[in-house]
Structure 1
C-alpha cells in the first residue's frame, strides 16, 4: 500500500530507531517455523502467541504480507468513540484524504489505532511511525512499536499511547498533513500513506 506522497515529508523524517536488543536473525518460512522443535516449551508458547499452532493451514500463499484496513483516532468524546479512515478505499479516494481532513476536537485525549491483517509469513519487529506537518513545519512525530504477528484470517488491532490534541486559535489555523508508515526493524516498508486532520472546536 504505497501512494503518491506529500513531498514536504521526506523519508529521512520517517526513519525509525533500532529496537535495543533486537536481532532479526535468520528469516524462516511459515512452514519452517511451524516445524521448529516442539519439545521447547518457550518456543511452543511463542508460536502459539503468533497463532502458528492453528493458522498455517488457512494461510493464502498469495496474500500480501501486510494489509491495512483502517486508521482511527480513538477518543471517549468522539462521535461513536472514534473517527476513522478506511484504508481499503480505491487509490483515488485515498489520495483525496489529503484534501478532506478528519476533524479532531481541540484539547481532547485521543489514541491512534490501526487495524491490519498479516498474510503469508511472520512479521517481526513492526513499528508505526508518523510525521505531522502544518504549513510545511514539523509539529509532531510519533514512533510506536506494533510487535510481531503471524498470519491469520482475522485482522489485528493495535492502539497506541494517548496524546492530547492542541488547542487555541493557532492550533485551529490550518490543516495538519500526516505521512504514516508501517516498517520493521530491517527497514522493510509495508505501508506508506498520507492523510490529514484539522483541529476544530467540535468533532
Structure 2
C-alpha cells in the first residue's frame, strides 16, 4: 500500500532530491516535491472482471433439492442458516486490520469501535502484510474489495485495490491477507501518511469506510 518510493520511475529524481534535503528534518519534504510523486486513482475494477448475478442464499439452498449429495455439499459449504450468529447491522462486519511484521507482534487496529483516531507507527524499510478480518452473517456476498488511498501532506502518493473474493455466511471470522509490501525508507520517506480505506463489494455496498494514519519512523517506538 505504501509504495511511495517507486525504484524504477523515480530513482534519478530521488537521488537529486536527497542531495537537496540532506540536512532537512523528518517530515519536512516540500509539498511541491511530493506532487511529483502523485499517483493515479486505484479504485477502478480489475480489468476484465464482470460481477456475477446476485443470488440469495435461500435460492441456492433450494436448487437441486432432490440431489442428496449436492445438498450435503452445500450444507457443508454454507452451513445451516439458522445456526449462524447474527450480530445485527450490515451483512458484512469488518472487525479488524492487522499489520503483520515478521518477528514482531501484529499491529492491530480495532474497527468495531471509535474510528476517529486510528494510528500506528512502523519502522522504515520493514516488510509487512495487511490482514483484514471480517464476518459475513446473512447472505452470500460477491466481489468483496479492500481499497485504500494514501496521502502525505494532502498529496496522493499511493493507492491499492485488493480483490478479497466472495464468501458465504459463517459464525466464524474470515480473513484476507494482502501481498507483502516494503515500508518506505530514507529520510525523505519518514513522516505521517494519511490513509483512507473502505471495504466494499460488487454491488457497491460500502460495509466500512475509515481513516487512519501510519507514521514511518527511523526506529520502532
TM, length-normalised to structure 1: 0.78
What is the RMSD of the two structures over their aligned residues, measured on CA atoms? Answer: 2.5
CA distance in structure 2 between the aligned counterparts of 1:70 and 1:195, rounded to whole angstroms: 12
Q: May I ask how many residue pairs the two structures share in their alignment?
A: 179
Counterpart residue number, 2:29: none
Q: How does 1:59-138 map to 2 (within 5 A)?
A: 59=84, 60=86, 62-78=88-104, 80=105, 82-90=106-114, 94-97=115-118, 101-138=119-156
Unaligned runs of 5+ in 2: 1-39
Residue 33 in structure 1 maps to residue 60 in structure 2: yes
Q: Deviations over 1:91-113 (max 9, x none)?
A: xxx2022xxx2011111110110
Return the index of the structure with the highest Cα Rg.
2
Structure 1 position 56, deviation (Å): 1.2
Q: Deviations over 1:69-122 (max 9, x none)?
A: 1001111043x1x111011123xxx2022xxx2011111110110110112110
Residue 156 in structure 1 maps to residue 174 in structure 2: yes
CA distance in structure 2 between the aligned counterparts of 1:42 and 1:18, rounded to whole angstroms: 32
TM, length-normalised to structure 2: 0.72
More strand by share: 1
Contact 1:63 / 1:120 at 8 angstroms: preserved in 2? no
Contact 2:193 / 2:213 at 8 angstroms: preserved in 1? yes
Structure 1 position 150, deviation (Å): 0.8
Counterpart residue number, 1:20: 48
CA distance in structure 2 between the aligned counterparts of 1:68 and 1:77, rounded to whole angstroms: 26
